[in-house]
Structures are given as structure tokens and as C-alpha cells.
Amino acid sequence: MLNKSKAIIKIGTRGSPLALWQASQVRAKLQEGEIIKINTTGDNIIDKPLSSVGGKGLFTKELDQELLNHNIDIAVHSLKDVPTIMSEEFNIAFILPRGAPEDVLISNTQAKNIISLPNNTILGTSSPRRYSQIKRIRPDISIVPLRGNVATRLDKVKNNKITATVLALAGITRLNINIDYSILNYNECMPAASQGIIGITYLKTNTKIEKQLNSYKNLITEYQALGERAVLKVINGDCDSAVGVTSYIKNQTITISAKVFSTNGREMIKASNSGPLKKSIDIGKSIGQIIIQKGGLKILKS
């Protein structure tokens, strides 16, 4: 029976195995909470690329509405699924360390990298970022749309419906999936901004939740998340954009790097900058401006 003297934090999440794992990690960190599964439009539409039906906001809008309706106190997300421009009614918090940011290649040929995939490879992905980078290396590869949770996508490879796919390493390790994979270096496939980061959204007016989350704040994750997302904000990047962004921290200095690609991968612009951790947002903005100055917006539209 619930203790009526203390309100339990209501934790909203999508219902996929990975989303539930992430919500459970947040609950463990907060040492309390009731996990509430919320069905999203993005989960219901699995036969079309997100970019063609409304973008990554399809994974968050129902959760946003539940926050606004006060049915949940916080919503847990894979941060890369959260639109770059958020509603002014929400704040975002980071209380967990970042997972592995890299992408991995999984194939039924045990290829170690994109270049070594065999001729006539059929690779499944619905990510414009991955599509462009794969085409840059191997324009001969046939790329087909692939949606669904991690297990669904892996089954397509296991059942030889496709030759290979590219997934986030964080999802594989968090679900403890036993499968052979090869980690792709950033020359082959730079990850999405904030890949591997779990973000928590909440209403700005909910000061009680804000205070509680702030007591568990993970500053390293926050600096990386906000710095990488700042690049996207400047160039107006979203799920339709072939953009890779990553960062690393050494001795209180953060280095952020970004690449933008044309759809076919033939054109690429890259930029990188370093500075104090506390200036991560400014560093991210500067990279976005450099990309614009180099003609990156034109490339993104091509």
C-alpha cells in the first residue's frame, strides 16, 4: 500500500524495452518513483521514416502532453530523440552518466566496418545521418528503411531480410544483448548529437521536482548534452538532417566536433572547437556558425 504522506514521483516513458530500462535507471537514481508507460505516435508508425511523418517529436509529444496535464512529473527520453527546439514550458535535466556514444555495425557477414561489407549488401536504416555517411563510403550499398525497437531491427539481420544495420552502441549494451558487432570509428560514422545521453524533461513550474533533480545533477553529462545540442540549434538541425556531433572532455576542457553531409554523402563540411567546460554552449554555437560560414546549410538541403 502506498504511503499517502509522500507523493510518489510519476515517471513517464515510452514502452519499448530500452525506454523502460532508462526509466528504471532514473527511478533507481532518485530512489523512488512509479513508472508509467505512454504510447507514442512514433512507436505506432514503424513502416515509414520519421522524417516523412513528422520527425522525432513523434516520440515526445504524448509525453509532453502528459506533463502538461500533470499526469506525470517527469518524462525520460533518449536525448537524441528530443527535438532541438523545446517548448518554453519545459526544462531538461541530466542525472545519469552518458552511455557509449558510438554507432555499431551488425551484419550477417561479420564485417568489421562499412568498407568491408560485401557487394550487393542491403543495409537497413531510417537515419538520414547514417544514410549519408554510409553512402559516402560505399555508394554501391542498397539502403532500405528500417524502423522498430532494437530487437525488431536485429531480427531483420538474423532472418536475412537485410545484410546489415547500424545501431547505437548504448542501446545494445544497456539491453545486454549478446550479439557480434563492430564499433564504427567517427571517420566512418559520427554519432548523433547527445547519443547515449538520457534526458529528463519536466515543467518549469514544478519547482519541487526541479530541486530534487538538481540534487542529483551530472554536470559532465549536462555540459556535453547542451554543447552538442547547441550546434544543432544554430544550424536548425533535426531528424531530417545528416548531421553528426560528438564531444570529449579532458582536463576540464571540452572539444566538440561536428560534420554535416549532403544526402548522397558526396559533400561534407566539418568543424571543431575546444574551450572550458562551462562554455560548452558557446563552443557548440561557434561550431554551428563555422558550419554556416562554410556553406553547411546549402549542403544540408542538397
- What is the β-pairing status of strands 253-261 and 268-276? antiparallel
The DSSP line for 43-111 is HH--SS-HHHHT-GGGGTHHHHHHHHTTS-SEEEEEGGGS-SS--TTEEEE--S------EEEEETT--
146 in helix, strand or coil?
Answer: coil
Q: Dihedral of CA 7/9/12/18: which sign?
A: negative
State the burial class of residue 166 (Cβ atoms within 10 Å of its Cβ: 0-12, 13-18, 19+): buried
Partners of 168 in the β-ladder? 103
Give 176's contacts (C-beta < 8 A, 6+ positions apart). none
Query: Which residue in 47, 81, 180, 240 is the catalytic one?
Result: 81
Please state, as a whole number, how many other Cβ atoms lie within 10 Å of the Cβ of residue 117.
22
Q: Does the annotation count 81 as an active-site position?
A: yes
Q: What is the spatial distance between Cα 221 and Cα 194, in angstroms, rounded to a whole number?
A: 9
Cα distance between the two ends of the chain: 58
**Alpha helices for the chain (secondary structure H):** 17-30, 41-44, 50-53, 61-68, 128-137, 150-158, 169-174, 207-214, 219-235, 280-293, 296-300
Could you give the residue numbers annotated as active site? 81
